[in-house]
Amino acid sequence: MTPHIIEIGPLQLVLCLGFVLLAGVTSLTQRLGLGRDLAVGTVRTFAQLFLMGYVLKFVFEVRVAWLVLLMFTFMVAAAVHTIRGRVKERSVPFVLPAFASMLITYSLVSIVVTGVVVGARPWWTPQYFIPLAGMIVGNSMTAISICLDRLFSDLRGRRGELEMKLALGADYREASREILAGAVRAGMIPSINSLMAVGLVSLPGMMTGQILSGTDPLIAIRYQIVVMLMLVASTALGALVVSNLVRKRCFSKGQQLVLR
């Protein structure tokens, strides 16, 4: 027997605007200055999610590999654009290496998860590939933002130590090894914390969504385990590859730090 799914209609969505109104009143009374951001964020949430819903409905019905991969590429590009907005470094070009490494790394992880672990046939089946790849890109976007921000700040803050090591004959890899490790570690901490707390502190979104749609909780749990483990792997690979490529651009051919 298929469980009854309670649909959310326009009235329920309007009622939910009361939550945003509550946040807006809090901002106003406490003079937080967040009213405009709350309004813009709410409008963008409605517009972007409804647009994505119609796009996904079309992609699911068409079921064409190149369209699925095009959508995945667009998701990666949007993630890189978000990273560029969060990481304020402008003296070192990091957008292109971040995009290339994320596209290649997350493509491989997504293909392995959907085609090997989940066993979808074909591996690019949009109902599986797009949601799983989207979680990989979205989660790793935050990790890479933290990683790059930490990398740039530590390279600049420890300039004297770096220049001393370079003067003593170390190359840029040796001189910045500890800084790179610290940046990758910082990027991975949120994913590791999620591993520690999942099921006790929080019920993750994918698992909750499947349960609400009527899926057996034990099946939803298995999918969530796959998701948690793939996110840790993608975060580690993405942060490591991106930070290595970007670190190289922070030094000149003469082994000099070019960060201003």
Are residues 33 and 93 both part of a single domain? no
Residue showing tokens 């922070």? 250
- 101 located within any domain: yes
Are residues 75 and 3 both part of a single domain? no
- 149 located within any domain: yes
Q: Using CA atoms, how far apart are residues 33 and 47, in angstroms rounded to an integer?
A: 23
Are residues 83 and 58 both part of a single domain? no
DSSP 77-128: HHHHHHHHHH----SS--HHHHHHHHHHHHHHHHHIIIIIIS--SSTT-HHH
Q: How many domains does the chain have?
A: 2
Are residues 51 and 116 both part of a single domain? no
Tens-digit pLDDT string for the chain (260 aa): 455 677 888 899 889 999 999 999 998 998 888 889 999 999 999 998 999 899 989 998 988 999 999 999 999 999 999 899 888 888 888 899 899 989 999 999 999 999 999 888 899 999 999 988 988 888 888 889 999 999 999 999 898 899 899 888 888 899 999 999 999 999 998 888 888 877 666 666 667 777 777 778 888 888 888 888 888 888 889 899 999 999 998 988 888 888 77
- 78 located within any domain: yes
Domain boundary among 62, 89, 114: 62
Query: Rounded to 5 degrees, what angle do the CA atoms 206, 59, 63 make?
Result: 105
Are residues 32 and 110 both part of a single domain? no
Q: Are the C-beta atoms of residues 142 and 112 closer than 8 Å to each other?
A: no
Are residues 133 and 217 both part of a single domain? yes
- 254 located within any domain: no
Backbone φ, ψ for residue 231 (5° rounding): -70, -40
Q: Are the C-beta atoms of residues 227 and 210 closer than 8 Å to each other?
A: no
Are residues 55 and 76 both part of a single domain? no
Q: Are the C-beta atoms of residues 152 and 176 closer than 8 Å to each other?
A: no
Are residues 242 and 123 both part of a single domain? yes
Are residues 141 and 206 both part of a single domain? yes
Are residues 116 and 135 both part of a single domain? yes
Domain membership of residue 218 as a residue range: 63-249
